Amino acid sequence: DTCRPRGHQMLLTRQLATKKAKGKGQTQARVSISAALVEDIINLEETSEDMQAVVDALKEDFSRNLSVRTSPGALDHIIVMTKDGKFPLNQLGQISQKSPQLILVNMTSFPESTAAATKAIRESGMNLNPEIDGTIIRVPIPKVTREHRESLAKLAKQSTNKSKEALRKVRSKSINQVKKFKNKVSEDTVWLLEKQIQQMADSAAAEMDKLLAAKTKELLG
């Protein structure tokens, strides 16, 4: 399990041998970095978890916000700005599907937030045009056009780029943490750890690309 420092250690030992072999044309004695030393410098498991969290957030965004069919559940987590703060729509109103073409949001419990909720639905990026009817918000479901599918695919690409940006921040933060030990540990140790962090980031980015490819295929049909 490469998430365990011991697993990382074996991997690091292997990589260093390869680096030496390439440099000298022959395999030199392997240099092993002790797991304890690695832990003193950086918690690689934490780095891995932080990167995975970015991937998971993208997955969640895709399943929650980027679906061709608008379902009542798709409106649940639209954030509404009220005078008392931000709330998900499903905490302010009762969301139900009246027919395949119509979702209703009953705002009887918080009638004063009806206008704010309507605005949030309109600006959700889901191509919805809600209408207020007393304390009921009527949300007609748009027909699924090619254009709508393409705009969702574009949003999926934008979300992936934002997630990759977040991933780069995790990677940079971890590499900077390793660089702080430049004068305390060997150059090889720093090089190996940076390489390990880069590989973890590459692997997370590859997972994001797979998610995007699958989502794009699903959206464009």
At position 51, the amino acid (one-letter code) is M
The number of folded domains in the chain is 2
pTM of the shown model: 0.65
Taking Cα atoms as reference points, which of 63, 64, 75 lies closest to residue 141?
75
Residue 107: burial class (beta carbons within 10 Å; 0-12, 13-18, 19+): buried
- pLDDT in 10s for each residue of the chain, 221 residues: 444 444 454 455 445 444 444 444 444 444 456 677 788 888 989 999 999 999 999 999 888 778 777 777 889 889 999 999 999 999 999 999 998 889 999 999 999 999 999 999 999 877 789 999 999 999 998 887 888 889 889 999 999 999 999 999 999 999 999 999 888 888 888 899 999 999 999 999 999 999 999 999 999 97
Same domain, 58 and 80: no
Task: Please indicate, yes or no, if residue 162 is contained in any of the structural domains.
Answer: yes
Same domain, 130 and 153: no
Task: Please indicate, yes or no, if residue 16 is contained in any of the structural domains.
Answer: no
- What domain range includes position 176? 36-67+146-220
Q: Is the dihedral of CA 164, 126, 81, 61 positive or negative?
A: negative
- The rounded distance, in Å, linking the Cα atoms of 92 and 13 is 56
Same domain, 162 and 206: yes
The 3-state DSSP composition of the chain as helix, strand, coil percent (nearest 5) reads: 60, 10, 25
